[in-house]
Amino acid sequence: MTEIFYNLIKWRVVSLSNMKRFLALMIMVLFAVVLTACGDNSEESGSGDNEQNNDSEESSNSEEQQEESDEPYSFTIMANLHTPEVPDEKVLAKIEEATNTNVEIQWVPDNNYEDRLNTAFATNSLPEAVFMKNQTTFIQFREAIEDDQFWQLDEYIDEFENLKKLKDNVLDNTRVNGNLYTLYQGRPLSRQGIIYRKDWADNLGLSAPTTTDEFMEMARAFTEDDPDGNGKDDTFGVTDRSDLVYGAFKTVASWFGTPNDWGEKDGQLLPEFMFDEYKQTMDFFKQMYENGYINQDFPVTSKTDQQEFFKNGTAGIYVGSMGDVISIYNDAVAINPDVEFDVHNQVKGPHGEFGVWAIPGFGNLVMFPKSSVETEDDLRKILTFFDKMMTPEVANLAYWGIEGEHYEVVDGFAKVLDTDISEREVKPYQALEIGEAETNGRYEGLFEYEPKAKSEDLFKDNENYLIENPTVPLYSETFVQDGARLQQIITDATYNYIIGQLDEAGFDAAVENWKSQGGDKMIEEFNASE
pLDDT in tens, 193-208: 999 999 999 999 999 9
**Which residues does residue 193 pair with via DSSP β-bridges, in sequence order?**
320
Instruction: Please say if the pLDDT value at position 525 is more than 80.
Output: yes
Contacts made by residues 513-519, CB under 8 angstroms, sequence distance 24+: 513/489, 514/486, 514/489, 514/490, 517/482, 517/485, 517/486, 517/489, 518/478, 518/482, 518/486, 519/271, 519/486
Residues sharing a CB contact under 8 Å with residue 470, sequence separation 6 or more, in sequence order? 262, 263, 264, 269
Residue 68: band (very low, low, confident or very high) from pLDDT cuts 50, 70, 90 = low
For residue 44, the model assigns a pLDDT of 39
Q: Is the pLDDT of residue 102 over 80?
A: yes
What are the boundaries of each domain within the chain?
2-59, 73-188+360-408+416-440, 191-357+443-471, 478-513+525-530
- Mean pLDDT score, 439-443: 97
Q: How confident is the model at residue 136 (pLDDT cuts 50, 70, 90)?
A: confident
CATH topology assigned to domain 191-357+443-471: D-Maltodextrin-Binding Protein; domain 2 (3.40.190)
pLDDT tens figures, 194-246: 999 999 999 999 999 999 999 999 999 999 999 999 999 999 999 999 999 99
Report the range of poorest mean pLDDT among 62-66, 171-175, 423-427: 62-66
Domains 73-188+360-408+416-440 and 191-357+443-471 in one fold: yes
Percent of the chain clearing pLDDT 90 (strictly above): 85
**Any residues with CB less than 8 A from the CB of 197 and at least 6 apart, and which?**
222, 227, 313, 316, 317, 339, 340, 341
Which residues fall within 8 angstroms of residue 320, CB to CB, at 6 or more apart? 192, 195, 246, 247, 248, 251
pLDDT at 70: 77
pLDDT at 2: 40
Contact indicator for 252, 212 with CB cutoff of 8 Å: yes
Would you place residue 530 in the very low, low, confident or very high pLDDT band (cuts 50, 70, 90)? confident
Which secondary-structure segment (H or E) carries 408?
A: strand 407-410
pLDDT grade for 69, boundaries at 50, 70 and 90: low
Q: Average pLDDT of 131-137?
A: 90
Task: Please classify residue 334 by burial: count the beta carbons closer than 10 Å to its beta carbon, then call 0-12 exposed, 13-18 middle and 19+ buried.
Answer: exposed
Specify the higher pLDDT residue, 65 or 339.
339
Q: pLDDT grade, residue 9 (50/70/90)?
A: very low
pLDDT one-digit tens code per residue, 453-482: 999 999 999 999 999 999 999 999 999 999
pLDDT tens digits, one per residue of 323-334: 999 999 999 999
From CA 272, how far away is CA 526, in angstroms rounded?
A: 14
Residue 296 near residue 313, CB atoms below 8 Å: no
73-188+360-408+416-440: what fold? D-Maltodextrin-Binding Protein; domain 2 (3.40.190)
Q: What pLDDT does 35 receive? A: 36
Residue 517 per-residue DSSP state: I
Region 4-15: mean pLDDT is 36
> CA 493 to CA 299: how far, in whole Å?
11
Pairing of strands 236-239, 315-321: parallel
